Amino acid sequence: MAGRVEGKVAFVTGAASGLGEAMVRLLVAEGAKVVIADVATERGEALAAELGGNGARAAFLRLDVTDEAAWDAAMEQTLRWFGKLDVLVNNAGIAPSGDMEMPFSVWRTTLSVNLDGTFLGTRAAIRTITRSGVPGSIINVSSTMGMTAEPTTAAYSASKAGVRNLTKAAAVHCSTHKLPIRVNSIHPGMCLTPLVRDYLAAHPQALESQIASHPIGHLGEPEDIAYGVLYLASDESKFMFGSELVIDGGYLI
Ligand code: NAD
């Protein structure tokens, strides 16, 4: 039976761990070829090797999403490996804690990775999908924090709100220029990635309060978000356009 994204080529940033890794595994399992892009070379190479290696199903590429020139090289390499690009997932992100007294450097780094990186990726993918001559899907990983804020998420919430509205601007750009590319954002609640697991193991009280703020009664698993990405990457979501897919266990209720 054909997979849900059979024949598609996807590029996932921040793909060597956490949510990105789960997205890569699911997209490959459902028939896509995937470029694993990350600054974490060792973990990214190991994941690509496990999934078939040598570019058969997955290939690793070192990419810092804040590096404008590196995006051009990454798109060229994707075309050399797999011949086209159908799907980009702008997933790379950082979440340093910081209230309104945070150092300016923390603000700038957070905005740079989360928002500049998403802009550069979205622009590069619009160009590369258009060159490929295929209909495309761009999926921007925002957060529930892109719709609300907590005392220590000032830069993170600002960056993820930026991702949310950049997504809509990119979607209307594609519409205006008659480009068959859908752009949508996805908004996870807190998920048990390895980093989050380690943090909560060391801070049991934080675990209790986080669970309490998710009315479903537990935190998410990386696969919960990966299935949303799979839907947005597949043709099943052909009427999703400039929209927001919230997967948060009820956090935003
Ligand atoms: P993670 O830290 O496990 O993974 C992030 C990956 O991004 C890492 O592999 C890291 O090496 C990579 N990365 C960091 N900076 C980069 C850069 N400049 N260029 C390229 N790669 C870079 O985090 P995660 O929890 O899997 O989060 C993935 C995305 O989901 C992020 O955008 C995050 O804001 C968002 N998110 C996560 C949660 C959650 O609970 N885990 C909730 C809401 C949103």
Q: Give the Cβ contact number of residue 131 at 10 Å.
A: 12
Give all domains of the chain, ordered by start, each with its CATH number: 9-187+221-247 (3.40.50.720)
Q: Please provide the DSSP assignment of 85-126 as one string.
A: --EEEE-------B-TTS-HHHHHHHHIIIIIHHHHHHHHHH
Q: Give the Cβ contact number of residue 240 at 10 Å.
A: 17
Contact 159, 115 (CB under 8 A): yes
List ligand 1's pocket residues with C-beta within 6 A. 13-14, 16-20, 38-40, 63-66, 91-95, 113, 117, 141, 143, 188, 190-191, 193, 195-196
Model confidence pLDDT, tens digit, residues 190-224: 999 988 988 888 888 899 999 999 999 999 999 99
- If you average pLDDT over every residue of the chain, what do you get? 96
Model confidence pLDDT, tens digit, residues 95-128: 999 999 999 999 999 999 999 999 999 999 999 9
* For helices 154-176 and 117-132, angle between their N-to-C axes, nearest 10 degrees: 20
Ligand 1 probe mutation, 39, 199, 218, 244, most atoms within 8 A of CB: 39
Give pTM, 2 decimals. 0.98
251 is catalytic: no
Model confidence pLDDT, tens digit, residues 22-50: 999 999 999 999 999 999 999 999 999 99
Taking the centre of ligand 1 as the mean of its atom positions, its distance from the CA of residue 4, in whole angstroms, is 25
Backbone angles phi, psi at 164, to 5 degrees: -60, -45
Backbone angles phi, psi at 139, to 5 degrees: -120, 115
Q: Please provide the DSSP assignment of 14-64 as one string.
A: STTSHHHHHHHHHHHHTT-EEEEEES-HHHHHHHHHHTTSTTSSEEEEE--
Strands 181-188 and 58-62: unpaired
Q: Whose CA is nearest to atom 34 of ligand 1?
A: 93
